[in-house]
Amino acid sequence: MANKGHNILVLGGGGREHALCWKLRQSPLCGALYCAPGNAGIAQVAQCVPWQGQAAMIDFCRAHEIALVVPGSETLLLDGVVDALTEANIPAFGPSRAAARLEGSKAFTKELCAAEKIPTARFRRFAARAQAQAWARTQALPLVVKADGLAAGKGVIIAATPQDVREAIDAMFDGRFGAAGKTVVLEEYLRGTEMSFFALCDGKRARPFASAQDYKRIGDGDTGPNTGGMGAVSPSPLASAALNARIMRRIIQPTMAAMRKRGTPFQGLLYAGLMICDGEPHLIEYNVRFGDPECQAMVARLTSDLLPALLACTSASLHRAPTLRWSAQPSLLVVVASRGYPNAVAPGGEIRNLGALEKRLTVLFHAATKRRGERWHAAGGRVLNCVAQEKTLRAARQSAYTALKELDWPQAYYRKDIGDGL
């Protein structure tokens, strides 16, 4: 009897989930592919189904013989979706709620780093405004002010003046970031170059996945407020075999050992946001899932099958999974958002000439689109992810921005400097 393949459910509906569905659909081991809730672009490669909560998800997985669930967002992981799936004996790629604290609490991660001597910035955590303000007055500037919990990538303020520091701390305790800011982490400002490094983990072992550089701020020249991400390149221009090995030895592997020692082994994708200072990696923070939009830039370069590696992580057998293979050609991604993002945006707006745009790119991933007949419409803040892959980053940059000239959408906004100067 022929192998019908593994039925897979991806959870989420953004550009990251489109990229994961796009790559998993290419696997000869993939059977039926579902995405909940998905989006109009994802519907081209997977069957989109409603998201109706964890109990309904378990029922869906049993009814459709799902062999692997891939949660996209940190919110799902911290809500315990992997715990619920594990209890139901359904394999899931991602950490338990307890292990997801590496992203859910910056203070938890910083204290783990201190205990395990993992290089990071000096820090203090505070649950009261007065103590935070008093300690901040004794520190060198700039000072980094962070909401301890999840804040959709926006809960970090780099405060350059005493007034900036006071206002940032007040904003946290006044509830600008909701419950995420009830505890505040203050840390020294590290001078260096940022790098995103990703590792596959099976609870016992870790294996390097890929690297990237992302662009968080809304404006050219890294100006304006932080966003969920306005672009990315992969690999990071800093990446090298020697640096990657140092990151694994000094940061990833000690973290894995520490989580096992605490009784909360980490399984899934560990995403280290790093600052490289004089060639040495320092951990800024962890995420516990594929980055968005870094995932989109990375999977465009992946030439081998992703599915065996994800399955191996769920069964503590990563050492037996085939080695992933990557194109030597770098990729560059430009996010197209609705004008006004990251603040409130006007809903809708027809996106014309999307086919011509897609033909000029290596791949186009949808983050927030709806389809009405043959017409495409925007349906959120970050809407499209335009990926170009060429022999050099400069060529990829030229290809991406040349392709964007085809876009006919008056409400479109995108940065003009992704990859500039690399």
Quick: pLDDT tens for 271-288. Answer: 999 999 999 999 999 999
Domain 122-188: which CATH number of 3.30.420.10, 3.40.50.300, 3.40.50.2300, 3.30.1490.20: 3.30.1490.20
Is 169 within 8 Å of 136 (Cβ atoms)? yes
pLDDT at 2: 41
Kindly report which listed range (44-53, 259-268, 344-353) carries the lowest average pLDDT score. 344-353
> Locate tokens 């405004």: which residue?
129
Alpha-carbon distance of 166 to 155, in angstroms, equals 15
The model's pLDDT over 12-42, given as tens digits with 9 standing for 90+, comes to 999 999 999 999 999 999 999 999 999 999 9
Q: How many residues does the chain have?
A: 422
| Averaged pLDDT for residues 350-361 | 96
| Averaged pLDDT for residues 253-257 | 98
Among 224-233, 313-322, 346-355, the range of highest mean pLDDT: 313-322
Alpha-carbon distance of 338 to 414, in angstroms, equals 9
Alpha-carbon distance of 173 to 131, in angstroms, equals 12
Among 138-152, 341-355, 399-413, the range of highest mean pLDDT: 399-413
Q: Is the pLDDT of residue 308 over 60?
A: yes
Element (H, E) at 185: strand 184-188
Which CATH fold topology does 7-94 show?
Rossmann fold (3.40.50)
List the structure tokens of 308.
């065996």
How far separated are the first and last CA of the chain, in Å rounded? 52
Mean model confidence pLDDT for the chain: 95
> Locate tokens 């998905």: which residue?
38
Is 35 within 8 Å of 60 (Cβ atoms)? no
DSSP secondary structure letter of residue 179: G
SS3 call for 159: strand
pLDDT at 80: 97
Is 374 within 8 Å of 50 (Cβ atoms)? no
Domains in the chain: boundaries: 7-94, 122-188, 191-320, 331-413
Alpha-carbon distance of 79 to 370, in angstroms, equals 27
Laid out side by side, the sheet with 143-147 consists of: 123-126, 184-188, 143-147, 156-159
The model's pLDDT over 34-86, given as tens digits with 9 standing for 90+, comes to 999 999 999 999 999 999 999 999 999 999 999 999 999 999 999 999 999 99
Alpha-carbon distance of 382 to 153, in angstroms, equals 13
The model's pLDDT over 389-419, given as tens digits with 9 standing for 90+, comes to 999 999 999 999 999 999 999 999 999 999 9
**CATH architecture for segment(s) 331-413:** Alpha-Beta Complex (3.90)
- Look at residues 292, 360, 216 and name the one whose alpha carbon lies nearest to residue 16: 292
Is 10 within 8 Å of 68 (Cβ atoms)? no
> Locate tokens 């790559």: which residue?
23
Residue 100's pLDDT band (cuts 50, 70, 90): very high
Which CATH fold topology does 191-320 show?
D-amino Acid Aminotransferase; Chain A, domain 1 (3.30.470)
